[in-house]
Amino acid sequence: MSGKDDQNTDKAAASGQPAIDVEKLDGWMRDQVDGYRGPLEVSKFAGGQSNPTYRITAASGSYVLRRKPVGQLVASAHAVDREFRVISALHAQDFLVPRAYALCMDDAVLGSAFYVMSMVDGRMFSDQLLPDVSREDRRAIFTSQAETLAKLHNFTPAEIGLGDYGKPGNYFERQLRLWERQYRAAQDRDIPDMEKLLEWLPSTVPPQQRLSIVHGDYKLHNVMFHKTEPRVAAVLDWELSTLGDPMADLSYMLMQWIRNDDLFGGLHGADFEGLNIPTVQEMLESYCATAGYDEVPDLDWYFAFNMFRLAAISQGIAARIKDGTAASDKAHVAVKRIVPLAKSAWEYAQKAGAK
């Protein structure tokens, strides 16, 4: 292994995860990835609290590897095989996702399951105010984000081979059961607002109007845009995807407009007119025009649910810090937002009628 290879694997090890065995990966890709030619180099992308993600640079081009973390994990989390399945199905429909090349469920290769997909060349935005983007392009970028989500929700799951990608029944009822289990499994203290939410949310679930593919984490940070044009190039990070109520994705995307977060930022308090960024209502109108909705229900219940879910996810990150499997330095920031998220969730629950 060359000195550069040693450097690459050291970067992986620094994340708290075992280093990538470059020689084993090279052999696997020669067998499994069409058109692949080595040698290869591996480096880890910054960020990512869940599935560690790596860039592979090879003689045949660049690829992306997503792996399951190594160590004791919460049941049903980090399902890279589900990610691989959904992006494979969506890519076949010309939806904006990378091409999925191959999946490996054999831990003997790299120590945990992983898959390899194409590298999409584009722009990622970390600052949601888009300071480095022209005033004209800001509106177009956010509008494209809303319209792309609507296009995802317009697919009929059974027609693209994903009819069994999620369980039957009300999505929010299932999600509440799931996140209560995840939260309880990782819980290390009593948070009164979480207890109130765990009692109120399941008793007030809205009726489900549609069944769609839902991304589960649809925000600006998981969308790649064209290198020069103000349009979506690819939707990334499908770990939480399933079949469910599209209102979950829509309200989650719009939380960016109602709050600021130390981890992911936000647009709350921004000068929307001055910056030429669409308002919540304008984003709703863009989404609804593409999705075919005549009207959208009140969002307060959905905002409460999404903040509760984020708090539960953050509690899981806290548990992974304790057992040494957290995949990002930002994990400690996520832990600090658990109580504030629970408080905000309960405030929106009260707006939706909770007593």
Q: Can you list the alpha helix ranges (DSSP code H) found in 238-337?
A: 246-254, 272-275, 280-291, 300-323, 331-336
Distance of alpha carbon 239 from alpha carbon 15, whole angstroms: 19
Residue 209 confidence (pLDDT): 86
Q: What is the DSSP letter of 123?
A: B
Which residues lie across from 214 on neighbouring strands? 242
The pTM assigned to this predicted structure is: 0.84
3.40.50.300, 3.90.1010.10, 3.30.200.20, 3.40.50.1100: which CATH number matches 3-118? 3.30.200.20
How do the pLDDT tens digits run along the chain, 355 residues long? 333 333 333 344 444 556 889 999 999 999 999 999 999 999 998 765 478 899 999 999 999 999 988 755 444 556 899 999 999 999 999 999 999 999 999 999 999 999 999 999 999 998 999 999 999 999 999 999 999 999 999 999 999 999 999 988 899 999 999 999 999 999 989 999 999 999 999 999 999 989 999 999 999 999 999 999 999 999 999 998 999 999 999 999 999 999 887 666 789 999 999 999 999 999 999 999 999 998 877 899 999 999 999 999 999 988 888 777 766 667 777 788 899 999 999 999 999 999 9
Distance of alpha carbon 163 from alpha carbon 169, whole angstroms: 13
300, exposed or middle or buried, with CB in 10 Å at 0-12, 13-18, 19+? middle
Map out the domains of the chain as residue ranges.
Answer: 3-118, 135-351
Query: At the topology level of CATH, where does 135-351 sit?
Result: Aminoglycoside 3'-phosphotransferase; Chain: A, domain 2 (3.90.1200)
Distance of alpha carbon 162 from alpha carbon 149, whole angstroms: 17
Nearest to 183 by CA among 89, 317, 92, 82: 317
Distance of alpha carbon 83 from alpha carbon 184, whole angstroms: 25
Distance of alpha carbon 185 from alpha carbon 180, whole angstroms: 8
Residue 170 confidence (pLDDT): 93
Residue 329 confidence (pLDDT): 66
Spell out the residues 6+ positions from residue 49 whose beta carbon is closer than 8 angstroms to its own. 317, 326, 327, 328, 330, 331, 334
Residue 157 confidence (pLDDT): 97
Residue 2 confidence (pLDDT): 33
CA dihedral 353, 342, 347, 139 (to 10 degrees): -110
Which residues lie across from 43 on neighbouring strands? 55
